[in-house]
Copies of this chain bind each other. A is one copy, B any other.
Amino acid sequence: MKKSRLEAFSDGVLAIIITIMVLELRVPHQATLAALWPLWPTILSYILSFIFIGIYWNNHHHLWQVVERLNGAVLWANLHLLFWLSLVPFVTAWMGENHFASAPVALYGVVLLGSGCAYYILVRALLASHARDSLLARALGNDIKGRVSIWIYLLAIAVAFAWPWLAGLLYCTVAVIWLVPDRRIERVLAPSAQ
């Protein structure tokens, strides 16, 4: 029961984050298709962030299926993750309004990096309270995707000041890596599926 309420709260926060971003799509004053054109960077950064929040929701969803127990540290590790994700609408808007300029693109990477680290901490906190041979421990394995993502974020932040578009491409690369759902957990669950 404990678990279900944490999931409900996280779902609520993620649902609000993903929807609130659309408020930054300011309605143009003119009623022409041409007036939509200046919105393209805002729409592009909205789509990118929508995908990232979707990835986190997907992974969170998969992760909690194999969680067996939780404690205070896990509750706070989860809130810490939600904190970083709650900053996504802010950096999305700043990046979109400034046409992917260097500083906003770098800050976007910092927020993604913070979220990635927070997810890593959450997984560690969960592993600490689960047995070595638990479903969770077997499902997570060595978490190669998580490690690679963090290195790509660091690289993207570094190159953002010289070539912001390259940083944007790197973020898209991470998104593509994660769009493949977490087969590890699906594999472990498969015999006892649903």
**Complex copy number for this chain:** 4
Q: Are A54 and B27 also in contact (CB < 8 A) when A11-B12, A12-B15 are?
A: no
Which secondary structure dominates where chain A touches chain B? helix
Cross-interface CB contact of A54 among B24, B33, B79, cutoff 8 Å? B79
Within 8 A of B (CB), among A1-51: 1-2, 5-9, 11-20, 22-25, 27-28, 31-33, 35-36, 47, 50
Stretch at the interface among A90-98, A112-120, A143-151: A90-98
**CB-nearest residue of chain B relative to A94?**
B27
Cross-interface CB contact of A103 among B31, B103, B106, cutoff 8 Å? B31
Chain B residues positioned under 8 Å from A89 (CB to CB):
22-23
Is B13's CB under 8 angstroms from A61's CB?
Answer: no
Within the complex, the shortest CB–CB distance from A77 to chain B, in Å, comes to 11
